Amino acid sequence: MITSYVHEIVRGTGSLLAGMKVTIKAMLSRTQTVQWPRQYLTLPQRFRGHIQLVPVESTGYPKCFACGNCARTCPSKCITVKGKKPEGAKKKSPTTFLLDFTKCSLCGLCVESCPVSALGFSKDYAMAGPSRQDFAEMDLLSSLASPFSTQASKEKDHG
Amino acid sequence: MKDINLLHIVISLLGIMGMVSLNAVLVVWLERKTAGRMQFRHGPMEVGFHGILQTLADGIKLVSKQLVAPSHADTALFIMAPVVSLVPIFVAMMPIPFSATILAHETDTGLLLVIALGLLNTLGILLAGWGSDNKYGLLGGTRAVGQILAYKIPLLLTVLTIVILAGSFSLREIAMSQNGLWNAFMQPVAFLIYIVCIVLETNRSPFDMAEAESELVAGFHTEYSGMAFSMFFLAEYSYMFVAAALATVMFLGGWHGPILPAPIWFILKVYFLLFLMIWFRWTFPRVRIDQMLMMGWKVLLPISLINFLITAVVLAL
């Protein structure tokens, strides 16, 4: 009776000390969080953000030739592609490439289906906006150079 | 020294108020930082250097908020409760010796005074629970009373053990008597019981029965907001300081220590104990109310009684 009483106290104290050892070790080890937005995480190679167009390295124009495979494959129908041939070129180039990110489920079927690997995943994870409309029509062309001169593309867009 | 001078009292009270506020800012920051680091986070980082002014910013926010009293609350008690909880601190800080000469007011029974004033915190909690007309508040208040019955007797028995060792109730003389060997080494059992008791006394996890978020929403301060809430908060952290200061005086040799000046040693020891209490809070899960009472009556009380008797017999021989 009395031995089990003493045994209980000693065992309990031991387990408390073991717990304190765990927390002090955690306290002295590195923190796992970063000070966002001043620091960003380095994302893994295969991180899947929203899709983005891959440029041709030499020119900076999109590799995409507006075949529309991605738009057809997309299960959520959230990609809109329109394309024309720039003057003097053999292949078409996209004039419109819109992503409705409010519907996109990041499945990646568009990236897989692209015949020339013109689509990739971006590493942008810090996205926020005050309204849904901010992400309903994301213009993926805006970050790339355009093979159409601004004057010409305006004429073509507006007929 | 014994005659009470009004100017002396006013200056000491101002000093104590500054001390209480500064201590709250520091300990809350230390608590949040420790909690963060123990969970692999940073804790507050934005306001001031590594978030050191975060508590100040929170305090300003709380001051600017309205105190809403529930419609059926006993308004007088509801408003009185945080005052009853906080004000005794200012008196309880008076006899604490930061060094042989730095203390606000010396009394022959300083130890008893501080422990008696510590009881008023529980009264404040009970008043808050009763006055706020809230079932969680009332449960928290009654739990605090059940808790005080369980820990005050072992606490007083360990204090008595130290008193018969030092031969005085004066905090200054108790600290002076440990010039060579600290009481923590002479009386390790009493020290351990006292450490458990100060966690119980300051209503901190794992014994925060009166607020127990997982069971009672926020317990006695469920209905409190704004400045009244921050007074409870201030009181909690100030009682931690007083309890840790008492432990330093009784067990860790007060201001005694090599090289550094005496007040620095005192503050260092107090903050070590405060860190220990924070460490407990972020390590141990909350015990159930029956487990806590069981521990108080069946473990702390008999062990402190036996320890007291053995000490008395050894001293008599």
pLDDT digits (tens, 9 = 90+) for A37-62: 888 888 888 888 888 888 888 888 88
Q: For residue B33, what are the contacts with CB-CB under 8 A and spacing of at least 6? A: B43, B44, B50, B51
Lowest mean pLDDT among B1-5, B56-60, B217-221: B1-5
Residue B41 has its nearest CB partner, among A20, A22, A31, at A31
- Write the pLDDT tens digit of every residue in B46-72: 888 888 888 888 888 988 988 888 888
pLDDT at B227 over 70: yes
Contacts 24+ apart (CB under 8 A), B113-116: B114/B171, B114/B242, B114/B246, B115/B155, B115/B156, B115/B159, B115/B246
pLDDT at B311 over 50: yes
- Rounded to an integer, the average pLDDT of B138-142 is 88
Q: What band does A153 get if pLDDT is binned at 50, 70 and 90?
A: very low
The residue type found at A15 is: S
- Write the pLDDT tens digit of every residue in B280-303: 999 998 888 888 888 888 888 999
Q: What's the total number of domains in chain B?
A: 1
A142 lies in some domain: yes
B174 lies in some domain: yes
- Write the pLDDT tens digit of every residue in B236-262: 899 999 999 889 988 888 888 788 787
Check residue B225 and give its pLDDT.
84
Q: What's the total number of domains in chain A?
A: 1
Check residue B276 and give its pLDDT.
92
ipTM over 0.90: no
Rounded to whole angstroms, the Cα distance separating A133 from A124 reads: 18
Q: What is the CA radius of gyration of chain A?
A: 27
Instruction: Give burial (CB, 10 Å; 0-12/13-18/19+) of A155.
Output: exposed
pLDDT at B12 over 70: yes
- Kindly list the residues from chain B whose CB atom is less than 8 angstroms away from the CB atom of residue A9: 299
Q: Which residue of A has its CA nearest to B34?
A: A27
B176 lies in some domain: yes
A79 lies in some domain: yes
Q: What is the DSSP letter of A44?
A: P
Q: What band does A133 get if pLDDT is binned at 50, 70 and 90?
A: confident
Check residue A147 and give its pLDDT.
75
Judged by CB atoms within 8 Å, which residues 12-71 of A form the interface with B? Answer: 16, 19-20, 22-24, 26-33, 35
CB-based contact B85:B231 (threshold 8 Å): yes
Greater pLDDT, B99 or A153: B99
- Write the pLDDT tens digit of every residue in A137-152: 888 888 888 777 654 5
Check residue B209 and give its pLDDT.
80
A5 lies in some domain: no
Check residue B279 and give its pLDDT.
92
- Rounded to an integer, the average pLDDT of A85-107 is 86
- Give yes or no for a cis peptide into A37 (omega within 30° of 0): yes
Rounded to whole angstroms, the Cα distance separating B171 from B26 reads: 25
Q: Could you give the C-alpha distances from B242 to A116, A122, B92, B117, in angstroms and in order?
A: 73, 56, 7, 10
| CA-based end-to-end distance of chain A | 97
Rounded to whole angstroms, the Cα distance separating A118 from A69 reads: 11
B160 lies in some domain: yes
Rounded to whole angstroms, the Cα distance separating B196 from B190 reads: 10
Q: Could you give the C-alpha distances from A27 to B201, B273, B305, in angstroms and in order?
A: 26, 17, 37
Structural domain range at position B256: 69-316
Q: For residue B138, what are the contacts with CB-CB under 8 A and spacing of at least 6? A: B129, B130
- Rounded to an integer, the average pLDDT of B74-96 is 87
pLDDT at A130 over 70: yes
A35 lies in some domain: no
A60 lies in some domain: yes
B17 lies in some domain: no
A9 and chain B: CB distance < 8 Å anywhere?
yes
Check residue A159 and give its pLDDT.
41
- Residue burial B67-87, b: 16+ Cβ < 10 Å; e: rest: eebeeebbeebbeebbebbbe
Q: Which residue of A has its CA nearest to B303?
A: A6
Query: How crowded is the C-beta side of B40, counted as CA atoms within 13 Å?
Result: 6
B91 lies in some domain: yes
CB-based contact B67:B227 (threshold 8 Å): yes
Structural domain range at position A103: 51-146
Instruction: Give burial (CB, 10 Å; 0-12/13-18/19+) of B207.
Output: buried
- Give yes or no for a cis peptide into B206 (omega within 30° of 0): yes
Reported as type and span, the H/E element at residue B63 is helix B54-63
- Kindly list the residues from chain B whose CB atom is less than 8 angstroms away from the CB atom of residue A35: 42, 45
**Global pTM value:** 0.80
**For testing the chain B interface, which of A1, A11, A15, A33 should be mutated: the one with the most B CBs within 10 Å?**
A33
Measure in Å the smallest separation between the Cα of B300 and chain A Cα atoms: 11
Helices (H), chain A: 2-28, 69-73, 109-113, 133-136, 150-157
Residue showing tokens 């949040």: B32
Check residue B2 and give its pLDDT.
52
Query: What are the φ/ψ torsions at residue A80 (nearest 5 degrees)?
Result: -120, 120
| CA-based end-to-end distance of chain B | 36
- Kindly list the residues from chain A whose CB atom is less than 8 angstroms away from the CB atom of residue B38: 23-24, 26-27
Strand partners, A82: A96
- Kindly list the residues from chain A whose CB atom is less than 8 angstroms away from the CB atom of residue B276: none
pLDDT at A155 over 70: no
- Rounded to an integer, the average pLDDT of B189-211 is 86
B287 lies in some domain: yes
Rounded to whole angstroms, the Cα distance separating B81 from B137 reads: 12
Check residue B272 and give its pLDDT.
92
Written as six digits, the tokens of B73 are: 């609350």
B233 lies in some domain: yes
B49 lies in some domain: no
| Mean pLDDT for all residues in chain A | 84
| Mean pLDDT for all residues in chain B | 86
**CATH code, domain with A112:** 3.30.70.3270
